[in-house]
Amino acid sequence: MRDIGSIDIIALVEPLAPDFRLEPALILAVIEGKTNFNIQAQSPQNTQGLMQLIFPTAERFGVTNVWDPLLNLTGGRVYPRWLLCHFDGDLELPLAGHNAGEQAVAKQGAVPLYPETRTCVKRIQRRRDRAAEDERQRPLPSTPS
């Protein structure tokens, strides 16, 4: 469990992700890969919060306060879903779009050759695979007899 102060990030992500047909493992991998669960993360490119949203993207998806973890996650789940639809479900392209910008990916028609973007996409895919495996190995809750 990733607790940040009194905030349980996994407890926030798990009910939000399925609303947009996203695997919790994917959202958690994006968070871990981009911010290592730091709700106050800010990049040199001025991406902010858990899901590393830039102001225009946050505004576009209704995030009024990128520093509020729940709002950041709420907007942050809409954007990956939009990217998945925009890039026809290919996971690499939405991850690249989240990092380099959807226009850069559309222009290239592939993951851009930016080393940072290629590294980020691979890192998030590895973390997603690991998180999905952890999720599969988690014991099912017992049901009362």
The closest alpha carbon to 59, from 40, 81, 75, belongs to 75
| Residue 56: inside a domain | yes
Q: Does residue 143 lie within any of the structural domains?
A: no
Domain count for the chain, please give it. Answer: 1
Q: Which residue range(s) make up the domain with 52?
A: 3-131
Beta 3-4 vs 7-8: how paired, if at all?
antiparallel
Residues 6 or more apart from 97 whose CB is under 8 A from it?
83, 86, 87, 104, 105, 106
Question: For the chain, what is the radius of gyration of the CA atoms?
Answer: 15
Is 71 domain-assigned? yes
- CATH number of domain containing 108: 1.10.530.10
* pLDDT tens across the length of the chain (145 residues): 455 555 788 888 888 777 788 888 888 899 998 899 999 999 998 999 999 999 999 999 999 999 999 999 988 888 888 999 999 878 899 999 999 999 999 999 999 999 999 999 999 999 998 877 877 777 765 655 5
In a domain, 138, yes or no: no
Total-model pTM? 0.80
